[in-house]
Chains A and B, each alone.
Chain A
């Protein structure tokens, strides 16, 4: 799939983090711009961070025009990814439902639907009858504690095999000459004045004029090595999966009020996610409180799955920003680039983030599609508020 290499003394660019963002950036640098003297380094293994811990949901039904355009480009890239990489990523566009349990969230759903339609993204608000038709096991009766009043229905949304995406990008980048170095931890960044000159790793020094921070969880720590401070705090996000059962859940279901999202994989397991743990932490331990709360909320939506057993639970790290949008682009340090702050929405953005970061590195110009997500927006007061569409009960 990909080769091992000795660490060279110099590369044209060093990408930190071998997850979907880092590998996609490397792939598009090679495929779209002909840059191949690139190292992707990771302190662990390929796809071992957020890329292997997310719940693999892909969608573009965001709230701000900037967000909708950005994630829609990612959905488009995902749609052709299996063919582009010659690797089956099992993208299943089975439809995505965001439930509204009160008037305020119904208004937000309507708002999102109209912004989506203006940007050419297929989204519409539907009522309980239509929800029942799409997900027959859902309790849409009016006498529940949080009755379902409607939903934002987003047909292009779905799920994907997240490991396959990472492996596909790694294989394609490797085939074009990109070097992937696993078990290679970044320990420092050498600068000359305000200019990057080298990446210091556990395996030695790499001279390079460009370093891209494509990490999740450790975004602030890597940026601090270059002297760049970020508006980011790290929260754990837990998820769980049940034993496999026959296919019965045809859509991805999200409820912000009940703090839960659920989908059924091709293997038949139900995959659950929830809101992030409330305190900041770098710990990836699961908690019983999470499973208890999750189970209670899922059963309010689908009482019939009460006897389904949870097989395992895990956690990943989310770099949360104040506006629930990422931080991408240039920094005050020349040659140090950011692709961080991916909160709970990083995996679905992998292809478009890689494509845009590759263009930025190759041309030196910030692509229009990520211009709104720059670090300077916090100083200038230009926040891109995505909380209404990116968060599950924070």
Chain B
């Protein structure tokens, strides 16, 4: 069983969650080129290793949050709520939930 450390609820069974997908900042609709939109819509890094992504605790607190997970071992290295990104060292700017470093809205993010 994979345990997902929800920032609100602590470690819970992965079956309670929905995997939203790889984190990617949405391009600015006013200035994005068609290529940027296509990349945002379809192209994925799909790495075999650490990745930053968005998860949704659908059968729990129903919050969207960001997670850093290893896609080969499924080890969760850390999870955090959208508002917490600024407090993290190392600048995890490539997150989808919430506000990215440039102030734009993330992909699947709902404020919590």
Contacts and interface: CB of A to CB of B under 8 A. Distances in A.
B44 A220 contact: yes
Interface string A306-320: 000000000000000
A281 B43 contact: no
A231 B38 CA distance: 10
A221 interface: yes
A234 B73 CA distance: 14
A282 B44 contact: no
Interface residues of B, number: 26
Nearest to B20: A279
A378 B72 contact: no
A41 B27 CA distance: 39
B21 A233 contact: yes
A191 B4 CA distance: 41
A238 B13 CA distance: 18
A280 B72 CA distance: 10
A218 B49 CA distance: 12
A234 B15 contact: no
A362 B71 CA distance: 37
Contacts of B35: 379
A281 B74 contact: yes
A231 B44 contact: yes
B71 A281 contact: yes
A288 interface: yes
Interface in A310-365: 322
Interface of A: 218, 220-221, 224, 229-234, 278-283, 287-289, 322, 378-379
Given A231-B44, A278-B18, A280-B71, 19 more contacts: A218-B48, A220-B45, A220-B46, A221-B47, A229-B39, A234-B46, A280-B19, A280-B21, A280-B22, A281-B71, A281-B74, A282-B71, A283-B72, A283-B73, A287-B1, A288-B1, A289-B1, A322-B42, A378-B41
Interface of B: 1-2, 13-15, 17-19, 21-22, 34-35, 38-39, 41-48, 71-74
20 contacts: A218-B48, A220-B45, A220-B46, A224-B45, A229-B45, A230-B44, A279-B19, A280-B71, A281-B71, A281-B74, A282-B72, A283-B74, A288-B1, A289-B13, A289-B15, A322-B41, A322-B42, A378-B41, A379-B34, A379-B38
